[in-house]
Amino acid sequence: MTAAAAEKPRRTDWNTLIREVISGEWRDPETGKRCDVPFETIRIEESLDGGAADLVAPLKIGRKLAVVSDTNTFEAMGRRVAKELKGWTSVEEIVFPGDTHCDEPTIALMQEKTRHCEGCVVVGSGSLSDTVKFATFKDGRKYASFATAASMNGYGAVTASVTLRNGYKTSVPAHAPRGVFVDLGVNAVAPAWLSAAGLGDSLCRPTAQVEWWASHRLFGTHYTKTPFDIFNVENDEAEMIRTAPDLAKHSTEANGYLYRVLMQASFGNNIVGSSHSGSMGEHQVSHWIDMFAGSAHPGTTHGQQVGVASIALARLHKLLVSMDKPPKVSPTRISETDFVTRYGEDIGGLMLLKRRKRRSTPWMPR
């Protein structure tokens, strides 16, 4: 623990503000509206040991449940959650390999393996959670999520990050879990590089805000600062940065603040109705690496890439605002053939379609 952390009284309630937003008490200061969230509950606790049935039962996701974990998360929490749920309902335990990717064949396999169950409980992080999210979305079943590492901000999101058959990695509409449960004790002992990835993903807040605001000022697109104000209400982002060095020491407090920021990013997504408040140029850089690095891909995670790209983009922003004269912007002209030559038949074609769609947005370069 750092010296500064030692001086502060230990936080015990990790759900303030989160609880108010979910219950509808919280109002958007700009519009007076509640934030409609797509899940029934989020609980961040120091320990959830013994409580899985009490947490899952009220969600009404079914009486025959698949508890899905992978070879890493089964030992960390999957076995325990399955055992606790078995005291209440019928459970089928399904364990995937540790390196599960959220791609189309894996999603189909998830549907097949869990098809006898009414609902799913996923015990895992990033890819496994997104695989269950998209598989249950496809066949109209509900699911709940027990997070095992603070590695990403998508636990409560309604979108899933999926690699399509042609290799194109994209964010696709899906559904949110009915409940997200975080046992900080379990999460704190996860490998430190996973929570570092979550920290990296969270670092995009300032660059995303600057780029979204710039788009608003330059092109008149919609912008609201509410998602960013939420971060400041309880100073969570500052606390996350203050305690960040303790992530490497597996501190529950550092994981607690990180989770609060990760969850509030999901709220931002719901307030805005898009990913603008938490995904801009830095995310494009990361997706680009994943799609085109091929065998040169260093095996880095989404969060690690976003963290580094956020710093790079912040430097670029600084350079732009320090220029004596405003930079001249001109349309990027890429021919149809160029798209295919650069990105290949499949992905090039898909990107071309996306670009054509954007042409209907008046401010986009034509």
- C-beta closer to Zn ion: residue 231 or 339: 231
Residue 98 has φ and ψ, to the nearest 5°, of: -70, -20
- CB 147 to Zn ion: min, Å: 15
- C-beta closer to Zn ion: residue 70 or 201: 201
- CB 217 to Zn ion: min, Å: 24
Site for Zn ion in 69-108 (CB under 5 A): none
Amino acid identity of 107? I
- CB 10 to Zn ion: min, Å: 29
Segment contacting Zn ion by CB under 5 A, of 46-54, 80-88, 117-125, 195-203 = 195-203
Site for Zn ion in 106-125 (CB under 5 A): none
Instruction: Give the three-state DSSP class for 136.
Output: helix
- C-beta closer to Zn ion: residue 68 or 265: 265
Render 292-329 in DSSP notation, one character per residue. H-GGG-----HHHHHHHHHHHHHHHHHHHHT-SSPPP-
Segment contacting Zn ion by CB under 5 A, of 71-79, 198-206, 213-221, 326-334 = 198-206
CA distance 100 to 149: 15
Q: Which ranges constitute the DSSP H helices of the chain?
A: 3-7, 18-23, 52-56, 73, 79-86, 104-113, 126-138, 184-188, 192-202, 204-219, 226-233, 236-243, 252-272, 281-292, 302-321, 336-343, 345-359
Q: What residues are paired with 34 via a beta bridge?
A: 27
Name the nearest CA neighbour of 303 among 323, 283, 332. Answer: 283
- β pairing state of 159-163 and 119-124: unpaired
- CB 251 to Zn ion: min, Å: 23
- C-beta closer to Zn ion: residue 189 or 285: 285
- C-beta closer to Zn ion: residue 94 or 265: 265
Site for Zn ion in 199-218 (CB under 5 A): 201
Instruction: Give the three-state DSSP class for 183.
Output: strand
Q: Tell me the site size for Zn ion, rule CB under 5 A.
A: 1
- CB 171 to Zn ion: min, Å: 9
Q: Which residue is nearest to Zn ion (CB)?
A: 201
CA 319 to chain centre: 29
The binding track of 32-71 with respect to Zn ion, each residue x by CB under 5 A or -, is ----------------------------------------
- CB 275 to Zn ion: min, Å: 8
- CB 317 to Zn ion: min, Å: 18
- CB 98 to Zn ion: min, Å: 21
- C-beta closer to Zn ion: residue 133 or 141: 133
**282 sits near Zn ion (criterion: CB under 5 A):** no
CA distance 214 to 221: 9
- C-beta closer to Zn ion: residue 201 or 211: 201
- C-beta closer to Zn ion: residue 114 or 207: 207
Amino acid identity of 291? M
Give the angle subtended at the CA of 155 by the CAs of 44 and 31, to the nearest 5°: 85
Name the nearest CA neighbour of 265 among 325, 182, 209, 181. Answer: 209
- CB 248 to Zn ion: min, Å: 21
> Contacts by 86-89 with C-beta closer than 8 Å and gap 24+?
87/53, 88/53, 88/56, 88/57, 89/53, 89/57, 89/63, 89/64, 89/65
- C-beta closer to Zn ion: residue 72 or 207: 207
CA distance 181 to 80: 14
- CB 168 to Zn ion: min, Å: 17
- C-beta closer to Zn ion: residue 93 or 201: 201
CA distance 282 to 208: 8
Q: Which residues sit at the interface with Zn ion, rule CB under 5 A?
A: 201
